[in-house]
Amino acid sequence: MESVRRMKPGDDSMSKYADIIVKIHNLKEDRSFTYRIPPYLSVAVGSRVLVPFGNRTVPGYCVALADTIDPKVERQLKDIKAVLDGQPVLTQELISLAFWGAKRYLCSVIDFL
């Protein structure tokens, strides 16, 4: 799901959407999923969150933020349920390393995180 403008870490005051890598090791798709950020939650890049995935709630990591998204896609999004930590647990550098390592060593991003 592609948003119009990706935001840099620390620029989350306007963020309404987050790309989340879910912690499901046997998931065949190695990609992020976009979720809506409820107004009562503060999510930053690197935050550990709980999100609905299918018929269960799973942990995941926020890897990107966006302030706008295609309106057709927005109607299908689910809300992030909770932020698990007071501060982000991953830096942008660690997230970039995980994406690089997954490509280099042919494994999933979540295995690196």
Contact 57, 24 (CB under 8 A): no
Half-sphere exposure of 98 (CA within 13 A, CB side): 20
Homologous superfamily of 6-104: PriA, 3(prime) DNA-binding domain (3.40.1440.60)
Over residues 55-81, the pLDDT tens digits come to 999 999 999 999 998 888 888 999 999
pTM reported for the whole predicted model: 0.82
All structural domains of the chain with their residue ranges: 6-104
Residue bearing tokens 């620029």? 11
The pLDDT of residue 14 is 55
Contact 59, 84 (CB under 8 A): yes
All residues at 6 or more sequence positions from 24 whose CB lies less than 8 Å from its CB, including other chains: 53, 58, 110
Residue bearing tokens 């042919």? 106
Over residues 30-39, the pLDDT tens digits come to 889 999 999 9
